[in-house]
Amino acid sequence: MRLAARPTGDVKPEDWEHVSVPVDAPGPGQFAGRTRVISLDPAMRGWLDDRPSYLPPVGLGEVMRAGSVIEVTASNHPGFQPGDHVVGTFGVQEHVVSDGKGALKIDTSLAPPSTYLGALGMSGMTAYFGLLDVGALKEGETVVVSGAAGAVGTTVGQIAKVKGCRVIGIAGGPEKCAVLTDELGFDAAIDYRAGDVKRALREQTPDGIDVYFDNVGGDILDAALTRLAMHARVVICGAISQYNNATPVKGPSNYMSLLVRRARMEGFVVFDYAKRYAQAAQEIAGWIGEGRLKVKEHVVKGTVDDFPETLHMLFRGQNVGKLVLELA
């Protein structure tokens, strides 16, 4: 699936082009594989825009960037054998040829391939380092996470519970909120579609928010800023409410609460923590094994042709947990 045009606002079907090309055999030092499952991430929207960011934009005519798990079918690479499952940034395509750079062999007997994109993959790493390193979370603190029913949000909230914190999730709709409180152990959930988020936060955070983990931006970020505790940390992970804007991003008008509350707002990019992924994944796997962290995944089965529509689901908030596209 290639990017055919730079989208303005919502991504349209004609911004994509599905091209069939002959499958290359792996060259010297390369391996080839068949894609099993593709990761869908809010950050993808940003990669489509031609402006400076933490990664170069996907070029016009290039295969869409995506994390995925492939199964090796042929190999001239000593580290990968046919039958191996490998996770990497292989793009939205059925067949992959790789030199193994950034690729990691996974053990599908421990967890299904999709989990290596979710809780044990980028989403889990984002939650872990954002909350614990950037957010500098301490036991007993109050954590609020927006986009709480998403891949990162479900993991942030559950890690915060493991760390002995009070956790409030903000999500859209009563079903998602029920998953957070009834299934994932959040202390409370706020349905932002149901009404006044500011008032709900006031009720749910009597002592203020110590760590606010923001995946959405916009009005919800502004509401959270009214509730900061002294020396609070606002972790800027994403701003999904603003990604499809054709108009300028809404800046947080309540940012002066950072001064009143001696608080900080800090952004991060998970790739900076690559050297510590293995340790974090091991810790998360341990919590999963102990039943303290439940993996939530939303699996769409289809072909790469279903990628554009599946991506839309993220921005419409139609997924609970990690959204992946599983190829037949």
> By the criterion CB under 8 A, which residues form the site for a copy of itself?
52-54, 217, 222, 236-239, 242, 248-269, 272
| Residue 182 burial (10 A CB sphere; 0-12, 13-18, 19+) | exposed
Tell me how far, at minimum, the Cβ of 26 lies from a copy of itself, in Å.
35
C-alpha span between 6 and 57 (Å, rounded): 10
Tell me how far, at minimum, the Cβ of 250 lies from a copy of itself, in Å.
7
Judged by beta carbon, residue 8 or residue 53, the one nearer a copy of itself is 53
Tell me how far, at minimum, the Cβ of 123 lies from a copy of itself, in Å.
16
Judged by beta carbon, residue 269 or residue 285, the one nearer a copy of itself is 269
Tell me how far, at minimum, the Cβ of 224 lies from a copy of itself, in Å.
13
Judged by beta carbon, residue 226 or residue 318, the one nearer a copy of itself is 226
Both tokens of 173, joined, read: 């709709």
Residues 199/191, Cβ–Cβ less than 8 Å? no
Both tokens of 186, joined, read: 């959040």
Tell me how far, at minimum, the Cβ of 257 lies from a copy of itself, in Å.
8
Judged by beta carbon, residue 80 or residue 273, the one nearer a copy of itself is 273
C-alpha span between 142 and 210 (Å, rounded): 5
CB neighbour burial string for 286-315, b if at least 16 within 10 angstroms, e if fewer: ebbeeeebbbbbbebeeebebbbebbbebb
Tell me how far, at minimum, the Cβ of 34 lies from a copy of itself, in Å.
34
Q: What is the DSSP letter of 150?
A: B
Judged by beta carbon, residue 49 or residue 71, the one nearer a copy of itself is 49
Judged by beta carbon, residue 150 or residue 308, the one nearer a copy of itself is 150
DSSP 57-100: PPPTTSBPP--EEEEEEEE-STT--TT-EEEE---S-SEEEE--
Judged by beta carbon, residue 110 or residue 256, the one nearer a copy of itself is 256
Residues 41/238, Cβ–Cβ less than 8 Å? no
Q: Which residue has the tokens 């509730």?
A: 227
Tell me how far, at minimum, the Cβ of 268 lies from a copy of itself, in Å.
6
C-alpha span between 13 and 23 (Å, rounded): 25
Both tokens of 141, joined, read: 């603190």
C-alpha span between 1 and 93 (Å, rounded): 6
Tell me how far, at minimum, the Cβ of 297 lies from a copy of itself, in Å.
25
Judged by beta carbon, residue 33 or residue 217, the one nearer a copy of itself is 217
CA angle 157, 54, 167 (to 5 degrees): 10
